[in-house]
Structure 1
Amino acid sequence: MSFTGNGAGPAGWLPGVSAISYGGDYNPEQWPEESWPGDIELMRQAGVNLVSIGIFSWALIEPRRGEHDFGWMDRLFELLHAAGIRISLGTPTASPPAWFFHEHPEARVVTRDGTTLGFGSRGMASPSSPAYREASVSIATALARRYGNHPALAVWHVHNEYGAPVSECYSEQSVRAFRRWLQGRYESLDALNAAWGTAFWGQRYLEWQHISAPAVSASVVNPAQRLDFARFTSDALLQCFVAERDAIRAECPQVPITTNFMAGTCESVDLWKWADAVDIVANDHYLVAEDPRSHVGLALSADLTRSLARGKPWILMEHSTSGVNWQPRNLAKRSGELARNALTHFGRGADAVMFFQWKASRSGAEKFHSAMVPHAGTRSRIWSEVCALGAGLGTLGEVLGSTVSAEAAVLWDWESFWAQDLEWRPSEDLSHRERVNAFYDRLWRDQLTVDFAHPEADLAAYKLVVAPASYLLTRAAADNLRRYVEGGGTLVVSYFSAIVDEHDAVHDGGFVAPLRDVLGLTVEEFLPLRAGETVRLTPSEVVGDVWTDDVALEGAEVVAAFEDGPAAGKPAITRNTLGAGAAWYVATRLDADQLAVVLEGAYRDAGLTPGDGPEDLELVRRRHADAEYLIAVNHGTKPADLPVGGTDLLTGEAGASLKVEAGGVRVLRTDRHQER
């Protein structure tokens, strides 16, 4: 049996694994070998059944070019296998050894301002370096030949967090690779000049070798060139993954291959493309510790990851047991938060729950990062909670392989985000991520499960589609949205959407031109607000800030108008019918509270009923053909009644009317036919 794409393989999951996987990164090379058996005994106590190894071990596996030392890893494999612990085997290519950079200094990353990065960190090699590609494929091949048939091997973990800590490289090797990429995309210089609008500022190119990477220049660099360089960078990193993946697959076709995404946090790779290149989607997520609603950001990341997995189960490859070490203020997780975080990911589709890392490091840059075994050892609160979580996950095997379905979708497009984030936009207060977060938070508060979707994807399954930040919208995407609304869907579009095409050129016909008939309006002019300025809307009695549009109606009805500000008397919220559906437009920034005004009407159009439970009660459902599970996470300070009864798989408690305690979690097997 071989793996040939996302979700392929036995039941689309890890071969030989019939339970929820639990564990983390294990870096035994940081510890004396005589301590390994003790570590593994603690793993058994904690319920660990999967660990990631080898991720940063290149210098140990290949201490000199072509010389391999597998002895220590052979012994580790056997110890873990004897304990019944499966292995996620990393390829160590995120951290090439010192000898590699000594032999190939040209493989170092060069930043946009021309700085060459030195050794001593990770993610230091240029993805366009032929020497790096060759060395990466070589070490991946050697590992696959050595361990590809080992019975403990559950999954291949290629590299680590592509795109972090650096993604773009402006070295001469990258410039040459960028030119080749452009030739493949445009074929002719005439086509490139047209796409980049090089008539502006006299930038026309007559020779391919005259094109360079968009390094720092005297003023703003051509935004179309910047956008293409972002696309090239994502593709260059993906080519590195594919090269290692294919080398492993040639030796070991029976074991799935993945890499750890950073969905929602690393914006330098287009994960819609990447998701089709892995056998199983995996993700790393770390809370923004100082955000009092960080649990909502966690849910967003989990929903985005499940969407990348096309609804199939996925791996939470990394998250933290408590505080991290790289944020401005690394707040510790409070009692119970570890389980709430882990089970939220599980509820939203993760069939493996992993941490970074198993044992806290005594040395190095991450020595203050939390771990499953903290510096305080096994008498600590964290260790107790780690063991309790392992025991709880051990009761959830019947949920393995169940899926999550959503009735609403939020549009997410990395290319649009890259384009919007370039310089010289109408207001520095514009933020695509702020708008996505605000709309998602509103949907989360209304207890609606959300998928994320590319604007050109099939949207027919969703009753509601929200476009919070579709600055770049292709004609194909606009046609897709038109078909969606005409077919009976409800669409909500926020300001500064449908402005430019795939080359960052303003659409022929002006702002929102490709959605003019869908929205029943046009935007004649942007009217951004001063810092701190607000505008009132009537009759809705809500307040906007940051932005207003000068909207001219072309068939839409006015739901609310601006009472004051530069757009006073103009439409602020509109609704337009098209075919069997309806499209809403919001011409100012409303926070998550005030977005209820818009979404209340959109819900009616879509036939959606928001939840009526406590706002801090998170509810999500997973389903098998013959069973349904309600995962309830209470982020509030008071007990909450659950909308259905059932049997709590974590505790065995059953009843027609159950509560979830403050800060608690329940996983209920429910009657599939109970009402929401």
Structure 2
Amino acid sequence: MTWSHQNGRWPTDGLSYGADYNPEQWGASVWREDVRLMREAGVNMVSLGIFSWGLVEVADGAYSWEWMDEIVDLLGENGIAIDLATPTAAPPGWLLFEHPEVRPVDHDMQPHWPGARLGWCPSSDVFRNYAVRIARAVAERYGKRDHVVMWHVGNEFGGGNARCYCDVSAVAFRGWLREKYGTLDVLNAAWASAFWGHTYRDFEHILPPRGSDSKNPSLVLDFDRFSSNELLKHYLAERSVLKEVTPELPVTTNFMVGAEPDVVDYARWAPYMDIVANDHYTRSPDPTPQQDVAFSGDRMRSMTSERRPWLLLEHSTSGVNWQPRNRSKDPGEMIRNSLSHIAHGADGVLFFQWRASRGGAEQFHSAMVPHAGEDTRVFREARTLGRHLKALAPVQGSRAPQARVGILFDDEAGWAMAKGVKPNNLLPYGKLVRDWHRAFWRHNVGIDVLPPWHTFDGYEVLVIPGLFLVDDDTAQRVTEFAEAGGTVVVGVVSGIVDETNQVRLGGYPGAFRALLGAWSEEILPLQEGDRFELDNGWGGSEWSEHVRIEDADVLARYSGGPLDGLPAVTSRTITNGGRALYVSGAIDQESIDGFVATLLGPDSLAELPAGVEMAVRETADERFTFFINHSPMDSSVSAHGAELLTGQSVDGRLELLAGEVRVVQSRR
């Protein structure tokens, strides 16, 4: 029977807990210490073999399985399930030496030298043939072991080879364009290639966007789409082999979903994952990393139309090693991060990695077992987290209830906004989206971060911040949502270009002009340090617009400056109680918070102490309410039911100490 979410079990009993395990870095005596500590910490699954290719295939077609056999057996003997990787993220030295043509090439046509990660061209048939062969070899040797419960294809696709500009990629790109456009006339129209006299007369004349000069933004966007698709083709080639050998096992790979546009269009990959899985790392300068955790979970949960449970395959116990200054997590922060991922829909949390490396490129990346060993705060917290996850076993399989708010997010729109010259080239797409998410999150309002093709049924509010690229279908479905009684909020930079990356004429935001009953004739970016003010006390920076009204009310006007007295925030009332609001300036966080509070009304906002986050998961009969105290102050909240982490009964008030998490189970 083929595995599916409808008829398949989750890979572990209860929530999954563990880490990337790289025993090849250590001797066999350490392995036995590892499994002892894993059992002590409550680990029930590890990801194995991710970087093992050169250690099991030591030369072309020559295999050495003994060490892998031993560790696979040892994990099984100790009741630890294996999320087994195809080791294709790390091609072996012999392959790169014998076939240097598989290495990716940058936009200046410089090949990547061996030594980094993912050192292979996604379009290379040579590499794909070798990768499929090792995937089959691993599957045939270990796929029938009872404790091998899931396949982990490669690792962080695109995290080193997201774009390859080599001649092999150029040939594949031209084939992709022929399939998409059919004729050069259609392609030239879509790319507006007459500008600068770049009309194409032969598909063979088309090259990837090499070099650092200004490029046609439509060509660049199509190359981004092609590149994501080439990586997906490779994933599917390995997946096909795994499904052939072990059709009963789920197959996934680890996304890298956060608040910025992804290097790969993961939302469009999600249908090909039996379980959607993610790697998430907070950033040291981030003033609210806890909100970034929530944002990524709200995106992951919305990758599937059923908002089904997902899996966190990597995060950090403390500091990472790849940021300019790598902040260590505060005491208790790792536990709060982990349980927040569970609160936002994950059915398991794993770390990179189990034991901190002595050498290599990630030797100062934190791990479950630090360099100092088990007598450390980090490992004590890992043991505590293991106990918490075991206590939360009833949560496994539950799902978030229907959210009130949907926020649209699209990697293609982010790519289009980031590539090519814009009125303001310093306005990040991710910040625009996350600022709006933060306002709803602070009010503990349920949020789904949706790809634009997701159904809008059941939502009260759709927020569209920074969605630079919008196709006609999305624009029509957003309009239908408002006409059915929903509220639509359109923010700056949205709806400006169509799916070919060409500007929609007739005024910004062209995709939503008719819906909003208002439009902008000119964009007025602000210079560094400048601000605009509105007559209702709001303000902002970076972006403003000269707005004209056709069929809308003015809620706020610009006050002072070149736009003095002109509309800044507008609202159009639609049949069936629907509304379409336009926020034409990049208002600051305080102003967005005020807008959201006014939009939802005080009676619909959760009454919780400052700094306390609440999230809910449900089954048909049970409700699990997560209370996460991110503040340094003790608090209490109203709750009734059984608190799962302490086993206490709650009848009215739940004490919530500073930094603590509590989960209350109750009947629906």
Quick check: TM above 0.5? yes
Q: Residue by residue, what CA displacement relative to the aligned partner does 1:192-214 show, whole Å, maximum 9, x if unpaired?
A: 11101111110011111110001
Residues in 2 aligned to 1:665 and 1:424: alpha-carbon distance in whole angstroms: 45
SS in structure 2 at match of 1:394: helix
Residue type of the alignment partner of 2:457: A
- Tell me the equivalent position of 1:251: 245
Residues in 1 aligned to 2:615 and 2:521: alpha-carbon distance in whole angstroms: 42
How far did 1:8 drift? 4.9
Are residues 1:370 and 2:366 paired? Answer: yes
Q: Residue by residue, what CA displacement relative to the aligned partner does 1:327-350 show, whole Å, maximum 9, x if unpaired?
A: 111111111111101000011111
Are residues 1:430 and 2:398 paired? Answer: no
Are residues 1:230 and 2:227 paired? Answer: no
How far did 1:34 drift? 2.4
Call closer, same or farther: CA 1:639–1:645 in 2, change over 3 Å. farther
How far did 1:598 drift? 2.1
User: 5+ residue gaps in structure 1?
Assistant: none
Are residues 1:407 and 2:401 paired? Answer: no
Please tell me whether the aligned partners of residues 507 and 513 of structure 2 are also in contact (alpha carbons under 8 angstroms). Answer: no
How far did 1:609 drift? 1.3
How many pairs align?
663
Residue of 142, 157, 161 corresponding to 1:162: 157
Matches within 5 A, 1:548-587: 548-580=544-576, 581-587=578-584
SS in structure 2 at match of 1:568: coil
Residue type of the alignment partner of 2:642: T
Residues in 2 aligned to 1:266 and 1:67: alpha-carbon distance in whole angstroms: 41
- Tell me the equivalent position of 1:192: 187
Call closer, same or farther: CA 1:360–1:238 in 2, change over 3 Å. same
Q: Give TM-score scaled by structure 1 length.
A: 0.96
Residue of 581, 589, 594 corresponding to 1:592: 589
Residue of 436, 456, 461 corresponding to 2:458: 461
Residue type of the alignment partner of 2:468: Y
- Tell me the equivalent position of 1:183: 178
Residue of 242, 255, 267 corresponding to 1:261: 255
Residue of 197, 206, 209 corresponding to 2:201: 206
RMSD: 1.3
- Tell me the equivalent position of 1:511: 508
SS in structure 1 at match of 2:391: coil
Matches within 5 A, 1:59-138: 59-138=54-133
Are residues 1:242 and 2:236 paired? Answer: yes
- Tell me the equivalent position of 1:319: 315
Residues in 2 aligned to 1:237 and 1:3: alpha-carbon distance in whole angstroms: 23
How far did 1:641 drift? 1.7
Deviates more, 1:425-434 or 1:328-337: 425-434
SS in structure 2 at match of 1:595: helix
How far did 1:317 drift? 0.2
Residue of 314, 336, 340 corresponding to 2:336: 340
Query: In percent, how many aligned pairs have the same letter?
Result: 41
Residue of 26, 35, 40 corresponding to 1:31: 26
Residues in 2 aligned to 1:335 and 1:597: alpha-carbon distance in whole angstroms: 33
- Tell me the equivalent position of 1:637: 632
Q: Residue by residue, what CA displacement relative to the aligned partner does 1:79-125 show, whole Å, maximum 9, x if unpaired?
A: 11111110000111111001111111111111112221100111110
Q: Residue by residue, what CA displacement relative to the aligned partner does 1:527-554 show, whole Å, maximum 9, x if unpaired?
A: 111211111101x211121111111101
Please tell me whether the aligned partners of residues 573 and 598 of structure 1 are also in contact (alpha carbons under 8 angstroms). Answer: no
Are residues 1:140 and 2:135 paired? Answer: yes
Residue type of the alignment partner of 1:470: L
- Tell me the equivalent position of 2:483: 486
Residues in 1 aligned to 2:253 and 2:139: alpha-carbon distance in whole angstroms: 15
Q: Residue by residue, what CA displacement relative to the aligned partner does 1:412-442 show, whole Å, maximum 9, x if unpaired?
A: 0111110010121001232211111110110
Please tell me whether the aligned partners of residues 485 and 582 of structure 1 are also in contact (alpha carbons under 8 angstroms). Answer: yes
Residue type of the alignment partner of 2:74: L
Q: Residue by residue, what CA displacement relative to the aligned partner does 1:116-154 show, whole Å, maximum 9, x if unpaired?
A: 110011111010111111111111111111111110111
Residues in 2 aligned to 1:370 and 1:182: alpha-carbon distance in whole angstroms: 44
Residues in 1 aligned to 2:595 and 2:568: alpha-carbon distance in whole angstroms: 11
Residue type of the alignment partner of 1:204: T
Runs of 4+ in 1 over 4 A off after TM superposition: none
Residue type of the alignment partner of 1:38: E
Residue type of the alignment partner of 2:60: R
Residues in 1 aligned to 2:540 and 2:434: alpha-carbon distance in whole angstroms: 16
Are residues 1:10 and 2:8 paired? Answer: yes
Please tell me whether the aligned partners of residues 621 and 667 of structure 2 are also in contact (alpha carbons under 8 angstroms). Answer: no
Residues in 1 aligned to 2:157 and 2:605: alpha-carbon distance in whole angstroms: 37
Residue type of the alignment partner of 2:475: A
- Tell me the equivalent position of 1:615: 610
Please tell me whether the aligned partners of residues 163 and 266 of structure 1 are also in contact (alpha carbons under 8 angstroms). Answer: no
Please tell me whether the aligned partners of residues 433 and 465 of structure 2 are also in contact (alpha carbons under 8 angstroms). Answer: yes
Residue type of the alignment partner of 1:630: T
